[in-house]
Amino acid sequence: DVKVTQSSRYLVKRTGEKVFLECVQDMDHENMFWYRQDPGLGLRLIYFSYDVKMKEKGDIPEGYSVSREKKERFSLILESASTNQTSMYLCASSLWGPHQNTEAFFGQGTRLTVV
């Protein structure tokens, strides 16, 4: 069974803390993604990576960074958490290649609250 696993379901952090959200996939996928999900806004892409050590900004990268040191792991970093980063964060992965075949698989999400 294919799997994308996010390290935490719920997190509460203080303003100004450095926060790490971890995501691991066991499908040997090249592409990995971080989205945030907010009511009324749907899913918005923060960053994605198409290879180890490679990354590209998505639509809302400000305040975030990412790390991909190994193929199976993609980390989202909030350098200095702020209350407007309170959200549901979703990790996803997919195969590299023609987009017709590249279904994305999602983790269960991490609900982050910044107080």
Partner 1 sequence: GNSVTQMEGPVTLSEEAFLTINCTYTATGYPSLFWYVQYPGEGLQLLLKATKADDKGSNKGFEATYRKETTSFHLEKGSVQVSDSAVYFCALSNSGGSNYKLTFGKGTLLTVNP
Residue closer to partner 1, measured from CB, 33 or 64: 33
Q: Which stretch binds partner 1 (CB under 8 A): 14-22, 63-71, 77-85, 86-94?
A: 86-94
Q: Which of 49, 76, 56, 54 is nearest to 65 (CA)?
A: 76
The DSSP output letter for 26 is S
| 84 in contact with partner 1 (CB under 8 A) | no
Length of the chain: 115
E strands of the chain, at which residues? Answer: 4-6, 10-13, 19-25, 31-38, 42-51, 54-57, 64-70, 73-78, 87-94, 105-106, 110-114
The reply to whether 106 sits near partner 1 by the rule CB under 8 A is yes
Q: Residue for token digits 């910044």?
A: 114
108 sits near partner 1 (criterion: CB under 8 A): yes
The reply on whether position 26 binds partner 1 by CB under 8 A is no
Q: Which of 40, 62, 83, 84 binds partner 1 (CB under 8 A)?
A: 40
Which residues in this chain contact partner 1 in the complex, by CB under 8 A?
4, 31, 33, 40-43, 45, 48, 50, 56, 58, 90, 92, 94-100, 102-104, 106-109
